[in-house]
Structure 1
Amino acid sequence: MDYPVIVTAIFGAFVVFGGVIGYVKAASKASLIAGSITGGLLLLSAFLIARGITAGAILGIVVSLVLLSQFGPSLLKKFKVMPNLLIVVLGFITVGTLAFSFFQ
């Protein structure tokens, strides 16, 4: 079983879904666009990793770190489970999994 692919794909799906929810609940086009782009990049990363392309792991790590840099400070200011805590936890899991598999 290829854990990096699964973890990255789950994170990507959650990010896309979060962008759609942000649009539905708050009519936030920015949330929809950002969620679609970053989630799509994470899904692309999972696809590339599954194909054995090293750039997929690098892309996944970079996108995850970007999301962590956006949602981490927001979580520290205002502790909200959705979406801040979910993105931070899944982001750390994804970065750890990808970094571990990249250096193995």
Structure 2
Amino acid sequence: MAIDWIGFCYAAFVSSGGIIGYVKAGSVASLVAGLVFGVLAGIGAYLISQDSKNVWVLLGTSGSLSVVMGMRFLNSWKFMPAGLMAGTSVLMVGKIAMGIVKGPHQS
């Protein structure tokens, strides 16, 4: 099975966003949410690396972040951090959806 490098990079991005939110603004909520969602995204990337059909954890994580951060962006119209995270999460959902439509690679 191929390693889902994009999924692992997304997980690192989400986690680092929570850490940056804590460092810059002292937001414990950002730290906790970033680490929880980052770990879930990492687990999802690991599961996809093991079985390309097992997309549900990463899809749920990135889909949830798309909705939550998208709503925050629409309420504030501030690109950082809500718009960036919503956009990245939407791209991740699109990547997963394309993988579902294309199906797993035949080896």
TM-score (norm. length: structure 1):
0.86
2:81 pairs with one of 80, 83, 92: 83
Kept in 1: contact 2:67–2:86 (CA 8 A): no
1:71 aligned to 2:69? Answer: yes
Amino acid at match of 2:88: L
Deviation at 1:5, TM superposition (A): 1.6
Which residue pairs with 1:48 in the alignment? 47
CA-atom RMSD in angstroms:
1.7
Structure 1: gaps of 5 or more residues: none
Equivalent position of 1:61 in the other structure = 59
**Structure with bigger gyration radius:** 2
C-alpha distance in 1 between matches for 2:5 and 2:87: 15
List structure 1 runs of 4+ shifted beyond 2 angstroms: none
Deviation at 1:52, TM superposition (A): 1.4
- Show structure 2 runs of 5+ residues with no match: none
> So what's the TM-score if we normalise by structure 2?
0.84
More helix by share: 1
C-alpha deviation, 1:71, in angstroms: 0.7
